[in-house]
Structure 1
Amino acid sequence: MDSKETIKEFYLRNASVVRLESSATTGVGHFNVFTRESCSLMTPYSRRDYYKISLIIGKGKLHYADKWIYVDRPALLFSNPIVPYSWEADNEDQTGWFCLFTDQFLQNGIRLGNLLDSQLFKVGGTPIFFIDEEQQKTVSALFTKMMEEIQSEYIHKYDMLRACLHLLIHETLKMQPAENFEPYQNASHRVASLFMELLERQFPIDSPEAFLKLKTPNDYARSLSIHVNSLNRSVKEMTGKTTSQQIALRTIQEANALLKHTDWNISEIAYGLGFEEPAYFTNFFKKQTGLAPNAVRNAFV
């Protein structure tokens, strides 16, 4: 699985789209809107560090960790920075629009609470809505308005864009989400593979400040948008080890590398690996290896 895609990397991957620097002004957040003609027919399976709303007019498959859905009619798709997904178009006949934005942009001026807790963006929610002809007209009008405003010279255009975004969200909240997701035939293999890739992506730890973000089976399950029981069952079935055991093995592997090849002190290594206290790391390391961290370090001095 690709690493988390930043806004900068999005523009590098989509060289044909134009980044408006004024939309990234400090204190405002980032916003931009595009037609889907500029989209790739196949996007990488990855997390993003931005939110995205797409009006999909075209056919294709939307893939998540353990399920997929075939999009065969106009649909609204909501994606968040946590849940990885990919899009696989059936053909080049793809139209519609999409906008991407940061939490900071939407929250500026009007408070809606945490976006990740909202019905449209929450982990474990249903992020796609099939829409009828009248709903498509309403949504298309909002995207058309956003395209017009972002190209205008109006001094308060980002307030207008934010208002359009709020309207789009509220219009969708009145709709019913799609329910016809299909499980993968080899769901256990797919889930276990994605977990192992995501686990490996957490390493190496480059600095004590770049601490481990995902530490528990629940963290990984949330990131893959699946229930932790499903993750545990798949990992155990495919690897013979529990999710916790796989995480512990990889953490110990990284701890050994840091002890042998860096000059970080034990506290820095502990915090870098996500432990709240150095003593917790020392106890964990001794339980897993039978040795104290200092003993490993001293053996290589």
Structure 2
Amino acid sequence: MESNELKIGDSQLIKINTIEEYTELFGCPSANHPLISINRLTDVKEFIPIGNPVQLNLYTITIKDGSTCNSKYGWRDYDFKKGTINFFAPGQIHSWNEKTENSGRWGWLLAFHPDFIRKYPLGTKIDKLKFFSYETNEALHMSDAERSMIEGIMESIENEYKQNIDEHTQDIIVSQLDVLLNYSERFYTRQFRTRNSVESDVLTRFQFVLHNHFENDKDKLITANDIASQLAMSTHYLSDLLRNLTGLNTQQHIHAHLIERAKNLLLTTNLSVSEIAYALGFEYPQYFSRLFKSKTGQTPVEFRNTN
């Protein structure tokens, strides 16, 4: 695998482009299909390239027993510990500080090449599934019932995977992958909503960051990435969590806050529209005017005159 190693600082970046390379690196049994591999954790050798970053140019899904992993939800301990699922899109960098014990451990490793689903509707749909870009500590945590359902889907995929490959194999497995991801979307929605009482603190912290920015840092517009970074969350995870808590994603909250501040300035000061735009952090007043009209149905001047 020397041809797949790139020097980055003092470490070698190992690039994994094929299922064969994946199974070799992680000690999985030889794949039955050139574009997909599914294995129970107990069948995976306990070998991980400690200290070397790995770029997996594959879709990978890791399902593990929650009691044997760091069960966190954002920065909090999580009350469901029956199992966790992590989703990774091609191109992400992975690294490990220590080996994990797979012997006797419940869980699955599923990896598939983008070409495996490319000709199917799932090949387009998967790009819209934001949980493939969540951080590891923002894993999906399963209840007993959810774990049982996921186990059934994985067993169905495994059974088909172990059959002799024919013209129906890929169609059947892709359809089961679609079901797996559909249920994962449902479970993530449940995870957001059932944690409202705990995660209301996220909303409080989010609002503090937003207000604090406009009070103390008016030189530039705040972005969804800026806020997520301050809250130690991934941008997509924060946005999805806020949408489930409030009905608005991060960008919509930022816009709503901007419009309310703009309205106050338009009605309580003699600042020009351009001066208000700069005061809010806009580099170009024209962008502020377009945003204001798209949200209120009026230009800033029309709003000031009619009110």
**Taking structure 1 as the reference length, what is the TM-score of the superposition?**
0.48
Q: Which structure would you say has the larger Rg? A: 2
| Structure with greater proportional helix content | 2
